[in-house]
Structure 1
Amino acid sequence: MLLWALLLAAQAAAPDIVVTGEKPRRELSAQIRAVTQDVDGRLPRFRNPVCPVVAGLPEAYGEAVVERVRARALEAGGKVAPRPCEADIFIVVTAEPRAALDRLRRDPRGYFSLLSNADVDRLVADGGPVWGFRTSVPRRADGGRVQPVAVWEMPGMTPQAKRAGRGAYKVDNARLSRLSEAVRRDADQAWLVVDAGALVGRSLGQIGDYAAMTTLAPIDTAKGGAMPFASILSLFETPPAEAEAGATAEDLAFLARLYGSRDGLSERQAARRLADSVRAAGDD
């Protein structure tokens, strides 16, 4: 009885122990994956020099937003195209965003041609006030071209088998590794459509940083406000007086890690590395 009493007393006196490390990293990684949009299990980013343009703002205001996006791209380790250049990032501010999306959907130049019908339907159905989408192309991990492989969906195939067949490519002379994939995804174009009414009370710096985060990174604009760290991505879900003044340290660390990671990482691998960088930025 005396030994039992001593054990109980020691347990009561022991301080609470909080286990940190791998579990928080897994949780943060999962939350990042929930607000990013992978393609074939990979997170696309721009490898070619970016050339942002803005439509729907006065010229001086649009230029300020363009310069902010270009600056954030360079800070992250990306490339920017010398002007004049062929646009690959399109930021559209309009009082009629749904009409703009409908025009893009019907445009013969096929801005939505690389998106599935389900993705387009979901995008148009989003409540806004921002709508973002991007297109990407598959490349070898070293940047070379790959050949898509047609995978037939046979009667009786399980959902797992159908998912396994997506994103299949023929890669000649590939160097296989357990640490990276043989195929990467390169962002080709990024679009951001913004309801003009939502910009009231927002600064050009805030708008530019939000545009940078949602075009340079594969962010789901419908979920970006749920990013599990202080972020400019909550700009349109927060009253103007309470919104972040611009990109946070975590935002900048996120972009820098995305553009600084080696090629060929899977979505899970990339998200874990993003989580590490975000946590480190938050601890500073």
Structure 2
Amino acid sequence: MVRNFKIMLGKWKACLFLIFIATPFATQAQNSAENEKAAEKEASDEIVVDGARIRPEKQLPRILDSNEGQLARFEGPFCPHVSGLPEQYKATILRTIKESAIELGLDSPANCEPNALIIFTTDAEEYMQQLRKKRTSWFNSLTPRKRRLLTQKPRSFYSWHSTALNLPNGEPVRDSASVLRQASNIPESEITSLGNPTSDGGRIETPAITAIESAFIVMDLRKTNNMSLAQLSDFALLHLIVDFNDKHQSSYPENSLLNLFSGLDPLLLPKRMSEFDRLTAFGLYRIRKNTQDAWTQSRRVARYVREQINGPETENDQADKSNQDNEAETDGPVAISFDDEG
């Protein structure tokens, strides 16, 4: 009996040894299979835009900043004004910005009161410090945190928006308690029922829109070496009409014109806004009623970007994909002289 017990004990130890040896290999095989599946899913989520691989559903919710829980945009006329440059440069940049804005679906009439300021200066940091003292109303709609993040460190450019909460009919929301009371005067067809992605069912949301009332961008001329007027125009336009989250600049596609002041050689970046840049801006402004929450809005923009690259276009979704070559004067790097600065 002792002999049989020893034989059984030996077999038991051998089994334990085999299990001990086999378990890591089984775990590794399982992990490898899971990693392969994850890699396949990630690859399937990627699309190629201008030669760069991007995942719009992941990147856009990061780089599009929310205001009052929404993605703000111009709901009325877009009226740019350029200052700090010689007259011939100002005219070229202004024309380029207005033409591009109209192509992206904004209303930019010939003569209207400026609500989008493009400011060039030889010392952007000092200019911002003075601006905060002399034009405090320009920063009123920023939260204390956003105001602090905007000016807490030197930058090559500064951009921000003044926003307001409006009802779909354009009437401003006077205070949060009066929203539903004001909404009672709006036709039922204009009141949108929104689904909350974090809840099981839908719920009625306040039919309010976060609108950009005015937009500002201040650019440091000392940092514009090798940049063309066309690049500066498109860069300014993108930041004026879309609120990008500077905290996630690493999520910008490498060939996006949003990288213009990132330290990359401007000569290696596109001459005009990239396909990703254009589709992102157009995707936001093509939404008829911008009453949804930021999460839903960014997903809709991401879906539009993907459909325009991968899927067949519908009649309603077609957009002009050609980045028109404007006058040659906007295409090459410009050395700006300050002798005749306006």
> How high is the TM-score relative to the length of structure 2?
0.66
The Cα offsets for residues 87-133 of structure 1, whole Å up to 9 and x where unpaired, read as: 11111111111111112211256211222222211100244211100
* Structure 2 residue 194 is matched with structure 1 residue 178: yes
- 1:117-151 C-alpha deviation (Å, 9 max, x unpaired): 2221110024421110001111113433323237x
Who wins on radius of gyration, i.e. which is larger?
2
Corresponding residue for 1:88?
A: 115
Contact 2:65 2:244 in 1 (8 A): yes
Aligned residue for 2:284? 258
1:32 and 2:60 are equivalent in the alignment: yes
- Distance 1:201-1:229 versus aligned 2 partners, 3 A rule: closer
Q: Does 1:248 align with 2:293?
A: no
Specify the code of the residue in structure 1 equivalent to 2:271: A
Aligned to 2:138, what secondary structure does the other structure show? coil
Unaligned 5+ residue runs, structure 1?
A: 1-15, 151-167
| Pair 261,147 (structure 1): closer, same or farther in 2 beyond 3 Å | same
Displacement, 1:193? 0.8
Aligned to 1:67: 95
Deviations 1:197-229 (A, max 9, x none): 111100100010101111011123564463247
Distance 1:236 1:108 in 2: 25
In structure 1, C-alpha distance between the alignment counterparts of 2:249 and 2:76, rounded to whole Å: 25
SS in 1 for 2:194: coil
- Number of residue pairs matched? 251
Distance 1:98 1:37 in 2: 23
| Deviation of the 1:283 alpha carbon | 4.0
Matches within 5 A, 1:1-284: 18-19=40-41, 28-83=56-111, 85-108=112-135, 110-149=137-176, 169-170=179-180, 171-173=182-184, 175-178=191-194, 182-221=207-246, 223-224=248-249, 226-228=251-253, 230-237=255-262, 238-263=264-289, 264-283=291-310
- In structure 2, the gaps of 5 or more residues are 1-35, 48-54, 196-204, 312-342
Q: Return 55-64 or 171-180, whichever deviates more.
A: 171-180
Instruction: Give the direction of change, closer, same or farther, for the CA distance of 1:229–1:121 in structure 2 (3 Å limit).
Output: same
Cα distance in 2, alignment partners of residues 45 and 229 from structure 1:
25
Overall identity of the aligned pairs, in %: 21
Which residue matches 2:17?
Answer: none
**TM-score between the two structures when normalised by the length of structure 1:** 0.79
Contact kept, 8 Å, 1:95 with 1:195, in 2: the verdict is yes
Maintained 8 Å contact 1:53/1:91: yes
CA distance in 1 between partners of 2:171 and 2:91 (Å): 34
1:59-105 Cα distance to aligned partner (Å, 9 max, x none) = 1111211112111211111101322x311111111111111111221
* CA RMSD of superposed structures (Å): 2.7
With over 3 angstroms needed to count, the CA separation of the structure-2 counterparts of 1:282 and 1:228, relative to structure 1, is farther
